[in-house]
Structure 1
Amino acid sequence: MRTTLLVAALGTAALFSTPFAADAASGGCAAGQLCLWPKTGYEGPRETHELSDTDIESCVPLPDGRPARSFVNRTGRPVTAFQSAECAETGEFDTYPGGGTYVPDSPYAVRAFKIAER
Protein backbone atom coordinates (compact mmCIF):
# COMPACT_ATOMS: atom_id res chain seq x y z
CA MET A 1 0.00 0.00 0.00
CA ARG A 2 1.18 3.48 -0.80
CA THR A 3 0.51 6.86 0.72
CA THR A 4 0.90 10.09 -1.24
CA LEU A 5 1.44 13.39 0.56
CA LEU A 6 0.63 16.67 -1.16
CA VAL A 7 1.82 19.97 0.26
CA ALA A 8 -0.65 22.68 -0.71
CA ALA A 9 0.50 26.23 -1.40
CA LEU A 10 -1.30 27.72 1.60
CA GLY A 11 -0.89 24.86 4.04
CA THR A 12 -0.44 21.16 4.33
CA ALA A 13 -3.14 18.76 3.23
CA ALA A 14 -2.56 15.03 3.36
CA LEU A 15 -4.06 13.17 0.42
CA PHE A 16 -4.04 9.42 0.78
CA SER A 17 -4.07 7.45 -2.45
CA THR A 18 -5.17 4.36 -0.53
CA PRO A 19 -7.59 4.47 2.39
CA PHE A 20 -5.80 1.99 4.70
CA ALA A 21 -5.17 4.39 7.59
CA ALA A 22 -7.44 7.19 6.51
CA ASP A 23 -10.67 5.15 6.60
CA ALA A 24 -10.52 4.63 10.34
CA ALA A 25 -9.48 8.23 10.98
CA SER A 26 -12.09 9.73 8.66
CA GLY A 27 -15.24 8.53 10.37
CA GLY A 28 -16.03 5.82 7.83
CA CYS A 29 -16.98 7.91 4.81
CA ALA A 30 -18.48 5.27 2.49
CA ALA A 31 -17.69 4.68 -1.17
CA GLY A 32 -19.77 7.00 -3.35
CA GLN A 33 -19.90 9.78 -0.76
CA LEU A 34 -18.40 13.22 -0.23
CA CYS A 35 -18.08 13.77 3.53
CA LEU A 36 -17.25 17.10 5.18
CA TRP A 37 -16.47 18.00 8.80
CA PRO A 38 -16.41 21.44 10.48
CA LYS A 39 -13.08 20.78 12.25
CA THR A 40 -9.72 19.45 11.17
CA GLY A 41 -9.00 15.77 11.69
CA TYR A 42 -12.56 14.74 10.69
CA GLU A 43 -13.97 16.10 13.95
CA GLY A 44 -17.49 17.37 14.59
CA PRO A 45 -20.77 16.41 12.94
CA ARG A 46 -20.26 14.91 9.48
CA GLU A 47 -22.16 16.24 6.46
CA THR A 48 -22.58 13.68 3.68
CA HIS A 49 -23.42 14.15 -0.02
CA GLU A 50 -23.99 11.48 -2.67
CA LEU A 51 -24.37 11.70 -6.44
CA SER A 52 -28.03 10.68 -6.16
CA ASP A 53 -28.88 13.85 -4.22
CA THR A 54 -26.35 16.34 -5.61
CA ASP A 55 -26.53 18.16 -8.95
CA ILE A 56 -23.40 17.52 -11.02
CA GLU A 57 -21.47 20.67 -12.04
CA SER A 58 -23.63 22.83 -9.73
CA CYS A 59 -22.36 25.00 -6.90
CA VAL A 60 -23.40 23.46 -3.58
CA PRO A 61 -22.95 25.89 -0.65
CA LEU A 62 -22.59 24.32 2.78
CA PRO A 63 -25.65 24.91 4.96
CA ASP A 64 -25.95 27.66 7.55
CA GLY A 65 -22.60 29.17 6.60
CA ARG A 66 -20.73 26.41 8.46
CA PRO A 67 -17.48 25.84 6.57
CA ALA A 68 -15.68 22.51 6.44
CA ARG A 69 -12.06 22.16 7.63
CA SER A 70 -11.62 18.49 6.62
CA PHE A 71 -13.24 16.28 4.01
CA VAL A 72 -13.11 12.98 2.13
CA ASN A 73 -13.99 12.53 -1.55
CA ARG A 74 -15.08 8.96 -2.32
CA THR A 75 -17.54 9.89 -5.08
CA GLY A 76 -15.44 8.51 -7.93
CA ARG A 77 -15.51 11.98 -9.55
CA PRO A 78 -13.35 15.05 -9.10
CA VAL A 79 -14.66 17.54 -6.52
CA THR A 80 -13.68 21.20 -6.44
CA ALA A 81 -13.69 22.75 -2.97
CA PHE A 82 -14.21 26.53 -2.79
CA GLN A 83 -13.44 29.09 -0.12
CA SER A 84 -16.32 31.16 -1.53
CA ALA A 85 -19.91 30.13 -0.75
CA GLU A 86 -20.78 31.09 -4.36
CA CYS A 87 -18.02 28.93 -5.93
CA ALA A 88 -16.27 32.12 -7.04
CA GLU A 89 -12.80 31.61 -8.41
CA THR A 90 -11.62 34.86 -6.85
CA GLY A 91 -11.08 33.02 -3.54
CA GLU A 92 -9.10 29.84 -2.94
CA PHE A 93 -10.24 26.65 -4.67
CA ASP A 94 -8.73 23.25 -5.46
CA THR A 95 -9.92 20.15 -7.30
CA TYR A 96 -9.47 16.79 -5.60
CA PRO A 97 -9.58 13.46 -7.47
CA GLY A 98 -12.40 11.03 -6.73
CA GLY A 99 -12.30 7.53 -5.42
CA GLY A 100 -10.35 8.13 -2.24
CA THR A 101 -9.00 11.59 -1.48
CA TYR A 102 -8.59 12.32 2.23
CA VAL A 103 -7.99 15.90 3.41
CA PRO A 104 -7.71 16.02 7.22
CA ASP A 105 -6.62 19.69 7.30
CA SER A 106 -7.87 21.86 4.45
CA PRO A 107 -5.63 24.85 3.64
CA TYR A 108 -8.74 27.11 3.81
CA ALA A 109 -12.33 27.01 5.07
CA VAL A 110 -14.45 25.20 2.47
CA ARG A 111 -17.81 26.95 2.03
CA ALA A 112 -19.02 25.29 -1.19
CA PHE A 113 -18.17 22.54 -3.64
CA LYS A 114 -18.86 21.23 -7.15
CA ILE A 115 -18.83 17.61 -8.24
CA ALA A 116 -17.52 17.30 -11.81
CA GLU A 117 -19.05 15.16 -14.55
CA ARG A 118 -15.68 13.40 -15.01
Structure 2
Amino acid sequence: MYTKTFLAAAAVLTALVAAPAASSAAPGTAPAASPSAAVPAVAPGAAAPAATTLGACGPGQLCLWPKADFKGRAVTHELASVDIESCTALPAGMSAQALANRTGRPVTTYQSAECAETGEFETYPGRGTWVPQTPYKVRAFKLWER
Protein backbone atom coordinates (compact mmCIF):
# COMPACT_ATOMS: atom_id res chain seq x y z
CA MET A 1 0.00 0.00 0.00
CA TYR A 2 2.78 2.47 0.89
CA THR A 3 4.59 1.64 -2.34
CA LYS A 4 1.50 2.41 -4.44
CA THR A 5 0.92 5.69 -2.56
CA PHE A 6 4.58 6.68 -2.98
CA LEU A 7 4.55 5.80 -6.70
CA ALA A 8 1.29 7.72 -7.24
CA ALA A 9 2.71 10.77 -5.43
CA ALA A 10 5.92 10.56 -7.47
CA ALA A 11 3.91 10.38 -10.71
CA VAL A 12 1.88 13.48 -9.74
CA LEU A 13 5.02 15.38 -8.76
CA THR A 14 6.71 14.45 -12.05
CA ALA A 15 3.66 15.60 -14.01
CA LEU A 16 3.59 18.92 -12.14
CA VAL A 17 7.27 19.59 -12.77
CA ALA A 18 7.15 18.55 -16.43
CA ALA A 19 3.86 20.27 -17.36
CA PRO A 20 3.41 24.04 -17.73
CA ALA A 21 1.37 25.76 -15.05
CA ALA A 22 -2.36 25.36 -15.47
CA SER A 23 -4.30 28.43 -16.51
CA SER A 24 -6.99 29.75 -14.22
CA ALA A 25 -8.64 31.61 -17.10
CA ALA A 26 -12.21 30.78 -18.03
CA PRO A 27 -12.66 28.57 -21.09
CA GLY A 28 -12.44 30.58 -24.31
CA THR A 29 -10.45 33.46 -22.73
CA ALA A 30 -6.75 34.23 -22.82
CA PRO A 31 -4.82 33.45 -19.64
CA ALA A 32 -3.89 36.46 -17.53
CA ALA A 33 -0.25 37.51 -17.35
CA SER A 34 1.49 36.40 -14.20
CA PRO A 35 2.57 39.40 -12.10
CA SER A 36 5.59 37.46 -10.88
CA ALA A 37 6.80 36.42 -14.33
CA ALA A 38 10.33 37.75 -14.64
CA VAL A 39 10.95 36.67 -18.23
CA PRO A 40 8.34 36.48 -20.97
CA ALA A 41 7.81 33.05 -22.50
CA VAL A 42 9.67 32.42 -25.75
CA ALA A 43 8.74 29.67 -28.20
CA PRO A 44 11.49 27.12 -28.88
CA GLY A 45 13.73 28.33 -31.69
CA ALA A 46 12.46 31.94 -31.42
CA ALA A 47 14.75 34.83 -30.56
CA ALA A 48 14.60 36.05 -26.98
CA PRO A 49 13.17 39.55 -26.44
CA ALA A 50 15.73 42.34 -26.20
CA ALA A 51 16.68 43.40 -22.69
CA THR A 52 15.87 46.93 -21.57
CA THR A 53 18.84 49.24 -22.07
CA LEU A 54 19.57 51.48 -19.09
CA GLY A 55 19.01 55.16 -19.72
CA ALA A 56 21.98 57.53 -19.75
CA CYS A 57 22.22 59.32 -16.41
CA GLY A 58 25.45 60.83 -15.11
CA PRO A 59 26.88 60.58 -11.60
CA GLY A 60 25.18 62.96 -9.18
CA GLN A 61 22.01 63.19 -11.28
CA LEU A 62 18.36 62.25 -10.92
CA CYS A 63 17.00 61.49 -14.40
CA LEU A 64 13.28 61.09 -15.17
CA TRP A 65 11.88 59.80 -18.48
CA PRO A 66 8.29 60.41 -19.63
CA LYS A 67 7.88 56.86 -20.93
CA ALA A 68 8.73 53.40 -19.57
CA ASP A 69 12.03 51.73 -20.49
CA PHE A 70 13.88 55.09 -20.46
CA LYS A 71 12.08 56.37 -23.57
CA GLY A 72 11.52 60.02 -24.44
CA ARG A 73 13.55 63.07 -23.48
CA ALA A 74 14.80 62.82 -19.89
CA VAL A 75 14.52 65.66 -17.39
CA THR A 76 17.68 65.82 -15.28
CA HIS A 77 18.17 67.29 -11.78
CA GLU A 78 21.35 67.73 -9.73
CA LEU A 79 21.86 68.47 -6.03
CA ALA A 80 23.11 71.98 -6.86
CA SER A 81 19.72 72.91 -8.32
CA VAL A 82 17.37 71.10 -5.89
CA ASP A 83 16.50 72.01 -2.30
CA ILE A 84 17.05 68.96 -0.10
CA GLU A 85 13.86 67.66 1.57
CA SER A 86 11.67 70.05 -0.46
CA CYS A 87 9.00 69.03 -2.93
CA THR A 88 10.14 69.50 -6.53
CA ALA A 89 7.34 69.22 -9.09
CA LEU A 90 8.08 68.16 -12.64
CA PRO A 91 7.38 70.78 -15.32
CA ALA A 92 3.65 71.43 -15.87
CA GLY A 93 1.99 68.68 -17.89
CA MET A 94 4.95 66.29 -17.54
CA SER A 95 5.04 63.01 -15.68
CA ALA A 96 7.70 60.30 -15.57
CA GLN A 97 7.38 56.54 -15.92
CA ALA A 98 11.09 55.62 -15.65
CA LEU A 99 13.90 57.00 -13.52
CA ALA A 100 17.55 56.70 -12.58
CA ASN A 101 18.80 57.96 -9.22
CA ARG A 102 22.55 58.57 -9.13
CA THR A 103 22.49 61.45 -6.64
CA GLY A 104 24.03 59.50 -3.77
CA ARG A 105 20.91 60.30 -1.73
CA PRO A 106 17.53 58.62 -1.40
CA VAL A 107 14.73 60.10 -3.49
CA THR A 108 11.01 59.75 -2.90
CA THR A 109 8.83 60.02 -5.98
CA TYR A 110 5.19 61.04 -5.75
CA GLN A 111 2.13 60.51 -7.88
CA SER A 112 0.93 63.90 -6.63
CA ALA A 113 2.56 67.09 -8.01
CA GLU A 114 2.43 68.48 -4.43
CA CYS A 115 4.20 65.48 -2.84
CA ALA A 116 0.98 64.56 -1.04
CA GLU A 117 1.15 61.20 0.66
CA THR A 118 -2.53 60.52 -0.04
CA GLY A 119 -1.45 59.31 -3.51
CA GLU A 120 1.20 56.73 -4.30
CA PHE A 121 4.85 57.34 -3.33
CA GLU A 122 8.03 55.29 -3.31
CA THR A 123 11.60 55.87 -2.05
CA TYR A 124 14.61 54.72 -4.09
CA PRO A 125 18.25 54.50 -2.93
CA GLY A 126 20.72 56.91 -4.52
CA ARG A 127 23.77 54.82 -5.28
CA GLY A 128 22.76 53.90 -8.81
CA THR A 129 19.11 52.86 -9.02
CA TRP A 130 17.53 52.42 -12.46
CA VAL A 131 13.76 51.88 -12.60
CA PRO A 132 12.52 51.11 -16.12
CA GLN A 133 8.82 51.18 -15.10
CA THR A 134 7.54 53.09 -12.09
CA PRO A 135 4.36 51.74 -10.48
CA TYR A 136 2.55 55.07 -11.14
CA LYS A 137 3.13 58.33 -13.05
CA VAL A 138 5.69 60.37 -11.14
CA ARG A 139 4.78 64.08 -10.91
CA ALA A 140 7.10 65.27 -8.12
CA PHE A 141 10.01 64.16 -5.94
CA LYS A 142 12.00 64.91 -2.77
CA LEU A 143 15.71 64.29 -2.31
CA TRP A 144 16.70 63.40 1.26
CA GLU A 145 19.80 63.73 3.42
CA ARG A 146 21.58 60.40 3.63
Quick check: TM above 0.5? yes
Per-residue deviation, 1:99: 1.1
Letter in 2 for 1:36: L
Per-residue deviation, 1:64: 1.5
Question: Where does structure 1 differ by over 6 angstroms across 4 or more consecutive aligned residues?
Answer: none
- Whether 1:88 and 2:116 are equivalent positions in the alignment is yes
TM-score between both structures, scaled by the size of structure 1:
0.78
Fraction of identical pairs, as percent: 62
More strand by share: 1
Count of residues in correspondence between the two structures:
99
Match of 2:126 among 98, 103, 107: 98
Cα deviation, 1:12-36, whole Å, max 9, x if unaligned, reads 8xxxxxxxxx9x9233201100000
Residue 72 (structure 2) aligns with:
44
Equivalent pair of 1:83/1:112 in contact (CA under 8 Å): yes
TM-score between both structures, scaled by the size of structure 2:
0.64
Inter-partner Cα distance in structure 1 for 2:69 and 2:125: 19
More helix by share: 2
Equivalent residue of 1:109, what SS?
coil
Inter-partner Cα distance in structure 2 for 1:99 and 1:41: 19
Per-residue deviation, 1:117: 1.2
Inter-partner Cα distance in structure 2 for 1:65 and 1:75: 24
The 5-angstrom pairing of residues 1-118 of structure 1 reads: 25-118=53-146
Equivalent pair of 2:55/2:100 in contact (CA under 8 Å): no
Letter in 2 for 1:71: L
Letter in 1 for 2:132: P
Per-residue deviation, 1:106: 0.4
